[in-house]
Amino acid sequence: FRRLLQTPASADWQLQTAVAFDIDGVLVKGKQTLEAGRRALSILSGNNKHGKRIPFVLLTNGGGVSEAAKAADISSRLGVEIHASQIVLAHSPMQSLVHRYGSQHVLVVGGIKNRCAEIARSYGFTNVSTPNDLVAWKPSLWPFMRAPASDHLSQPVGRDFSEHPFAAVLVFHDSFDFGRDLQVVTDVLRSQDAAAGRPFVRRQTAPLFMSNEDLVFSNEYPLPRFGQGAYHVCLRAMWQALHAGTDAPQLEYSLFGKPHPVQYRYAEGLLDRIAGSVGGMTDFERLRRCRRIYAVGDNPAADIKGANAAGWTSVLVRTGVFAGPPGSNDAVNPAAAVVDHVEDAVNWIVETEA
């Protein structure tokens, strides 16, 4: 492995180490950029006592934007050039669903306006509708819409949804209208086609894929905020209430997002490609055997649980969801190390790998 590190292309890279950073609560808190985040990425870019660059990716349960847009946003806020190929959003691994549903009519939920539909189309889904589209087509479907001027309404569509049943429901990001999206998704999952007004059936008529089950996350508000997981709880509770006393099965769904293995396999693929591009690696198996991946996060239920299960080394910071006192760790999902903020985390990693 030393041989590979001596090659000029990789001389300044330390490829047997890699870091996956969570974003919200670690590098930023909503619109607030954390100075420790800026310093942490600078350290990994070579400003450390070994002069080594350590490959890193950003592994977030956030989304609702493209990987390129997220990379540009974080680059400008943290002063380090980050590429789309270093970004894992909650919905990034949902690209694997294109081979099954790419040409079928899918409902994509979450985010502002129809931005998630545009992202889904950029992944290869060719027949995408959103709750906006359904309500624009039949406003009475959800009579509690905010004033038409609200910025997340789409333009009325010409499509007649009554003849277009949905093959799957994909929740890409947090809902910006819980009530509407609870109504629309429940309609779709209880009927062959939601908007036709045909009688509901007492079984789930389409698969449901959720991109992030975080009950809470950390932004600039001093206390954790509800995440996409809050929408899941409401959706499951409504399904149960609507089918109380019947033999209707529970709502079934497949989960993406941290702590689920699919997210970590996807991130490892990105790290393999980074190593290949900088180190001219041909021997990924050797790289994989000796590479140690660190995950820095603020949410024990997502970041630490997922990293521990993936065989990575987890580092918990106190700048987000976890608010334990100094010296404490999470009892349910203990991290390998607990530090005050992400700069401490990176310094601990550099020291550990020295």
Could you list the residues that contact Mg ion (CB under 5 A)?
Answer: 22, 24-25, 298-299
User: Closest separation between CB of residue 225 and ligand G3P, Å?
Assistant: 9
Interacting partner of 227 out of Mg ion, ligand G3P, none (Cβ under 5 to 8 A depending on kind): ligand G3P
- Tell me the CA end-to-end span of the chain in Å, nearest whole number: 16
Task: Report the candidate in 167, 178, 255, 160 with the shortest Cα–Cα distance to residue 214.
Answer: 255
User: Closest separation between CB of residue 317 and Mg ion, Å?
Assistant: 9
Task: Report the candidate in 214, 224, 182, 232 with the shortest Cα–Cα distance to residue 62.
Answer: 214
- Binding residues for ligand G3P, total number by CB under 6 A: 14
CA distances from 321 to 137, 222, 301 (A): 40, 10, 10
Nearer to ligand G3P, 60 or 314 (CB): 60
- Segment interacting with ligand G3P, rule: CB under 6 A, options 58-66, 131-139, 200-208, 274-282: 58-66
Cα 5 from Cα 23, distance rounded (Å)? 29
Interacting partner of 213 out of Mg ion, ligand G3P, none (Cβ under 5 to 8 A depending on kind): none
Nearer to ligand G3P, 25 or 165 (CB): 25
Interacting partner of 314 out of ligand G3P, Mg ion, none (Cβ under 5 to 8 A depending on kind): none
Nearer to ligand G3P, 145 or 216 (CB): 216
Cα 354 from Cα 348, distance rounded (Å)? 10
Interacting partner of 67 out of Mg ion, ligand G3P, none (Cβ under 5 to 8 A depending on kind): none
Cα 86 from Cα 96, distance rounded (Å)? 18
Cα 314 from Cα 156, distance rounded (Å)? 47
| 62 counts as binding ligand G3P under rule CB under 6 A | yes
Tell me which residue has its CB nearest to Mg ion: 25
User: Closest separation between CB of residue 197 and Mg ion, Å?
Assistant: 41
User: Closest separation between CB of residue 220 and Mg ion, Å?
Assistant: 13
User: Closest separation between CB of residue 138 and ligand G3P, Å?
Assistant: 29
Helices (H), the chain: 2-6, 35-44, 67-78, 98-101, 115-123, 131-137, 178-190, 228-242, 261-279, 284-290, 305-310, 342-352
Nearer to ligand G3P, 217 or 312 (CB): 217
Run of H or E including 255: strand 254-255
Binding mask 15-34 for ligand G3P (x = CB under 6 A): -------xxxx---------
Interacting partner of 312 out of Mg ion, ligand G3P, none (Cβ under 5 to 8 A depending on kind): none
Nearer to ligand G3P, 4 or 44 (CB): 44
Q: What is the DSSP letter of 269?
A: H
CA dihedral for 300, 260, 88, 185, sign (positive or negative): negative
Residues 210-249 touching ligand G3P, rule: CB under 6 A, are 212, 214, 217, 227-228
Cα 159 from Cα 153, distance rounded (Å)? 16
> Binding residues for ligand G3P, per CB under 6 A?
22-25, 60-62, 174, 212, 214, 217, 227-228, 299
